[in-house]
Structure 1
C-alpha cells in the first residue's frame, strides 16, 4: 500500500534524534515528498503537526534559529486557518524558545520572551514543578505526545 503519514513521521522522528550532519536536508526532503505525494495522488501522506514538529526538532538540534521560528509560525498559521487538526502545542513553542535563549544573535532573548507570552496566551500559563510529577501526570504527558503523532488514546 506504500508509505503513509505515520510511517513518514517515524522516519522524521528518527532523523530528529539522529544528529547526523545531513539530518535537516533529508528531513526537508521527506516533508516535501509527503506534500507532493498527497497533492499529486491523494496518497495518505498529508503532513500533520507531528511531521512539522520533527522537522522543527531537526532545525533546533542544529541551532537553525530563523528556520525554526519561521516553521513555528507556519505551524500556528496552518492551525489558525484550520488546515491541520492540531496546533503546534507548547512542546513546539518550547523547542524554539530554548534555541532562541541559547542563541547569541541580537534580539534572540526578546523573541524568546515574546514566544513565551504567545504560548501562554494560546495554551494558558503553565507552571509545573517537575520534581513533584506523579505517574498520572507522566501518563497524561505521554498520551498528549502520542496524540501529536496521530496515535489514538485508548484510555
Structure 2
C-alpha cells in the first residue's frame, strides 16, 4: 500500500497533474513499511527503494529524496529482523554500517553520521543471531561506536542498551569451549567497562544483571567458583538497588537452594519478599 501511494505521487508529479513530489519523509515512511513487512521480497524491495532514492537525488536532482541517517537506520532494522539465522543479512548490516562511517569520517557527507540507534541496531542484530563468533562481532561494533563518539560524533554516544546487548550476545552464545570462553571474557570486559564509565554511559540496571547472571550460569561449568562469582554479582545488584523478581528467578536457577536461601534470607521469589532498598532503582528510567 505505501509503495503504491509513493509511486502514484511520483507519477502525478511527473505528469504535472499535481505537485505532490515525495520528500524524504515519504520515502522513509514507505521504507519503514517494508522493514516491518513479513513479505518474502521485503528486503529486495527495501534495497530497491533506497537505490531509487539515490537515483532520484543524484540523477534526477530531487534533493528531497537524498537518503539520510533515518533511511539507513531503517534499512538496518529491516535486515535485523531477518538476521537470526541469515549470515548474509548480518554481512549486509556490517556493509551498511561501514558505508555510513566512511561517508561521515571522510567528510563526503557529514550528515550521514551514525547515531546510537545505528550502532544499537547492528549490535542487537548480532545478539539475536545464532552465528558463531557473534559475541566478538557485537563487541567490535561497540568499540566502533566508542571510537566514533570519542572522535566527536556526539550522536553515537554509547549507552546502557549497547553494553547490555553485547552482554546478551555473550549470554546466548552456543559453541565449543573456546567460543564460550571467549564469550565469557567479552562478558566481563563489557560489564567492567560499563561500571567503570557509569558516569558517561549509565551504570548497570536490572536487565544488565539478569543478563550477566544468566551468562554466568550458562557459560561457566558448575563449581564452587561459579557459585561464589554469582553471589558476588548478586551482592553488587543489591548495592545498586536493581533486584527484581526476574533477578531472583535467574539467581535461584543458578545456585544451590541452600546458598540461595542464605544470600536472600528466603526461598521465595515474590516481589513482596524483596526488601525495598534492594529494588529501589528498578523502575528508574535509563536512556537507550
Q: Secondary structure, in 3 states, of the residue corresponding to 2:65?
A: coil
- Report deviation, 1:102: 2.7
CA distance in 2, matches of 1:57, 1:97: 11
Which protein shows a greater Rg? 2
Which of 111, 116, 126 in structure 2 is aligned with 1:100?
126
Preserved CA contact (<8 Å) 1:37 1:45: yes
1:71-110 equivalences under 5 Å are 71-82=96-107, 83-110=109-136
TM-score (normalised: structure 1): 0.77
Q: TM-score, normalised by structure 2?
A: 0.43
Counterpart Cα distance in 2 of 1:124 and 1:4: 29
- Give, in whole Å, the separation in 2 of the partners of 1:86 and 1:76: 8
1:66 and 1:13 map into 2 onto residues whose CA distance is 20
Residue 29 (structure 1) shift: 0.6
Structure-2 residue corresponding to 1:113: 139
C-alpha displacement of 1:57: 0.7
Structure 1 unaligned regions, length at least 5: 142-155
Contact 1:24 1:59 in 2 (8 A): yes
**Secondary structure of 2:78's partner?**
helix
The structure-2 alpha-carbon separation of the partners of 1:132 and 1:19, relative to structure 1 and needing over 3 Å to count, comes to farther
User: 1: CA distance between counterparts of 2:283 and 2:113?
Assistant: 27
**Aligned partner (choices 51, 57, 60) of residue 80 of structure 2:** 60
2:56–2:65 CA contact under 8 A, matched in 1: yes
**Residue equivalent to 1:42:** 61
CA contact (8 A) 2:119 2:145 kept: yes
Matched residues in 2 for 1:41 and 1:84: separation?
Answer: 22
Contact map agreement 1:120 1:126 (CA 8 A) in 2 = no
Out of 3, 25, 28, the position equivalent to 1:9 is: 28
Structure 2 gaps, min length 5: 1-18, 84-88, 150-155, 161-201, 206-281
Contact residue 27 and residue 55 of structure 1 kept, 8 A: yes
Q: How does 1:123-134 map to 2 (within 5 A)?
A: 123-127=156-160, 128=202, 129=205, 131-133=283-285
C-alpha displacement of 1:125: 4.2
1:124 deviates by: 4.1
Aligned residues: 136
Deviation at 1:88, TM superposition (A): 1.6
Contact in 2 for aligned 1:49/1:84 (Cα 8 Å): no
